[in-house]
Every structure is written in C-alpha cells, then in structure tokens.
Amino acid sequence: MGGIRVEKRAALVVVDLQNGFVNRHSRHVVPAVEALVDRWSAGGRPVVFTRYVNGPDSPYERLLGWRRLREAPETDLVDAVRGHARRARAVIEKRTYTWFTPEAEELSAAERWTDLVFCGVATDSCVLKSAADAFERGFTPWIVTDACASEAGPDVHDAGLRIARRFIGARQLVTTEELFARW
C-alpha cells in the first residue's frame, strides 16, 4: 500500500450516525466513530456530520414503503457524538442518500477539500453513495471500513464494501489505523 496518502485538505464526513439507524447490527460502530472523530479532530482536521430526515412523499416512502426517520428522536445524532457535532465544521441535513447537498457542495468548494473520508451508517447506501459521488466529482474518497456499518447486518455491510471497491478502488477502503498511518 505504499504511495497512498491522504491529502492535507481532507475532511472527515460522519454519515447519518442517528438514533434511527443504530440497532443491534450497527451499534458496535458508535465507539469506533467516536474514537476516529477524536483522533481526527486532535490533528486540527475538519469534521462534518450528516443527518438524514425523511420527508412526506419522499421516494423512500413512495417507492420503498420506508416511513422512518421523519422526526426526533429517530433523526437525532446518537448521544456519543452530539458534543462533537456541536464543534464540527457543519452538520448537513439531507433528504437523500448522498452527503452532496447544495450546502455540502458549497462547503467543500469554500474549504478546498481534495479528499473526503467517510464513516458512519449505512455502508451499503449513504456511505457508499456519498463516496461514489465524491469520486465522480473529482474528490479522492476514502471509506474507513472499521468505522462504518449497516443497520441491515454484517452481510449487507460487506456487500457495500465489495461494491465500493469497484466504484472507488480497493485502495480507498482503509481501516482507522491505515488512515492515520498515511498522515
């Protein structure tokens, strides 16, 4: 893995670590994300959180029949990261899988980030879609494999990582330790 490095203009994007997405399959990732945010922030690097809110007549409701995450407490970030979110560069509210809302696009351009490091929930949807969109927009995306999970279970998490390897490149999937070894 020599020659891979994360640029200094990188942001950590914590995707949808919300009460409504944390269950028996994804709960284990909360302390891993909290530790990652602590280490990342200690280096003076920016952290951004996303928070998904489902709206009435959304495609999730119309096409998938999925009616969750419409209001608090489901839409609230988990307690373990709320303090971090208050100190974060931003908390981006979104109504889609991707973190690339107009606000996120503006922030990325203003900060001149070259690399976006993704962690959180769910590996197979919001993390994957955000990383693929970052790739297509010219950013260097990273997925921290031990700091993301799927609320649908480990098999679905693994499937998301398999697809991510094809979408953004196998070298872009790293563990927390591999990520910090590159700095």
Read off the pLDDT of residues 107-160 as tens digits, 9 standing for 90 and up: 999 999 999 999 999 999 999 999 999 999 999 999 999 999 999 999 999 999
**Which residues face 92 on adjacent strands?**
50
What percent of the chain stands above pLDDT 90? Answer: 91
Banded pLDDT at 18 (limits 50, 70, 90): very high
Reported pTM: 0.94
Q: What is the mean pLDDT of the chain?
A: 94
What is residue 141's three-state secondary structure?
strand
What superfamily does domain 10-181 belong to in CATH? Answer: Isochorismatase-like (3.40.50.850)
Instruction: Tell me the three-class secondary structure of 57-101, residue by residue.
Output: CCHHHHCCCCCCCCCCCCCCECHHHHHHHHHCCEEEEECCCCCCC
Higher-confidence position of 35 and 56:
35
In this predicted structure, the answer to whether residue 176 has a pLDDT above a threshold of 70 is yes
Question: What pLDDT is stored for residue 4 in this prediction?
Answer: 53
Q: What is the mean pLDDT of residues 71-93?
A: 97
Banded pLDDT at 182 (limits 50, 70, 90): confident
